[in-house]
Amino acid sequence: MTVSQSFSLEFFPPRDQAAQDKLVRSAKTLQGLRPSYVSVTFGAGGSTRTGTAEAVGLLQNLGFDVAPHLSCIGSSEAELLDIIEGYHAQGIRRLVALRGDMPSGMGGDTGALRYASDLVRFIREHRGDEFTIEVAAYPEMHPEAISLEADLQHFIHKVNQGANGAVTQYFFSPHAYFDFVDRVRAKGVDIPIVPGIMPITNSSQLLRFSNMCGAEIPRWLRLRLADFGDDRASIRSFGIEVVQRLAQDLLDGGAPGLHFYTLNGSEAGMAIIPQLSFK
Ligand code: FAD
């Protein structure tokens, strides 16, 4: 059976009314492109628990299939179960299961479930196969991992706890993605691994964020961005060109789909997605 390539979108919970209005505007604009689902991030240690749930409800009301992110670190099993059951009751059947990061100042109590693999197992124990579960993947290695091989073993273990698919951290080298997929396949694991696509709209923000999450900005790209200085408009149009080429290379190389980090905007998605050929 051939499954056609699709795309999904990621949003984050808005902080205030103006940000919520922007999210709704962007989501409605992008809805016309027919994403397969949309996801909503979850703040470290449950800090956006209410905000995530509200954004999930908002997007559900707009008619999207919504996948809330849920991270386990720093939360009790009872809290997590409460969230999972709440989503189940409102008709959610897809989750992105994560470990998350400890927010600073929360001390060292990781909670009952230490890794995303524990959360996947926990969801399966309580709700069987009722949820489609996505997990995170890191083609360029998770920043805390001790080696590429150890990280791969942990990823395989996480998938074996019952994940249906994975979405990657963003990257700008397609080779990193294809190499990761080859290494996963060599271990006999065949779940879809969907590249996460980050738009380039603001170079200082991108550099800062990439440092934190361990995503590599290739030297040529760093240098090109530096040349634009503060010229935001040129960075945006260059960013669209680069990301569109990356996305098409990934699709042409056999990626099962794409997951766009929208940053709650619609401009980059509207410029890039309609130009792509999906098989
Ligand atoms: P895990 O898969 O648990 O891995 C974390 C680290 O632990 C890795 O280094 C792994 O190698 C290691 N490890 C795993 N199992 C073991 C084990 N048994 N023994 C020893 N080491 C082990 N963060 C948020 O806070 N909210 C979000 O909504 C969010 N969404 C994301 C969406 C995507 C697509 C991605 C790629 C990341 C997202 N993140 C989010 C960031 C993520 O929470 C962090 O990268 C976090 O540090 C790791 O989460 P994980 O689920 O990948 O963890």
**Distances from the Cα of 39 to the Cα of 12, 97, 198, angstroms:** 8, 11, 14
- Residue pLDDT, tens place only, 25-67: 999 999 999 999 999 999 877 778 899 999 999 999 999 999 9
The Cα–Cα gap between 123 and 174 comes to 32
User: Any residues with Cβ below 6 Å from ligand 1, and which?
Assistant: 41-42, 44, 69, 71, 96, 98-101, 115-117, 136, 142, 144-145, 150-151, 154, 158, 167, 169, 196
Residue 140 is among the residues annotated as catalytic for this protein: no
Protein residue closest via CA to atom 52 of ligand 1: 136
Question: From ligand 1's centre to the CA of 171, what distance in Å?
Answer: 16
DSSP per residue, 95-151: EEEE---PPTTSTT--BS--SHHHHHHHHHHHHTTSSEEEEEE-TT--TT-S-HHHH
Protein residue closest via CA to atom 13 of ligand 1: 154
Q: Is the dihedral of CA 213, 198, 139, 5 positive or negative?
A: positive
Residue 175 DSSP SS3:
helix
What pLDDT score was predicted for residue 241? 98
Counting Cβ atoms within 10 Å, is residue 107 exposed (0-12), middle (13-18) or buried (19+)? exposed
Our mutation pick for probing the ligand 1 site, out of 8, 41, 70, 71, counting the most ligand atoms within 8 A of Cβ, is 71
What pLDDT score was predicted for residue 103? 72
- Residue pLDDT, tens place only, 106-162: 666 777 899 999 999 999 999 999 999 999 999 999 999 999 999 999 999 999 999
Residue 2 reports pLDDT greater than 60 = no
The Cα–Cα gap between 95 and 163 comes to 10
Query: CB neighbours of 77 closer than 8 A, spacing ≥ 6?
Result: 112, 113, 122
**Distances from the Cα of 272 to the Cα of 218, 254, 258, angstroms:** 21, 18, 12
Higher pLDDT, 197 or 110: 197
Question: Model pTM?
Answer: 0.97
Question: From ligand 1's centre to the CA of 277, what distance in Å?
Answer: 31
Protein residue closest via CA to atom 14 of ligand 1: 154
The Cα–Cα gap between 220 and 200 comes to 14
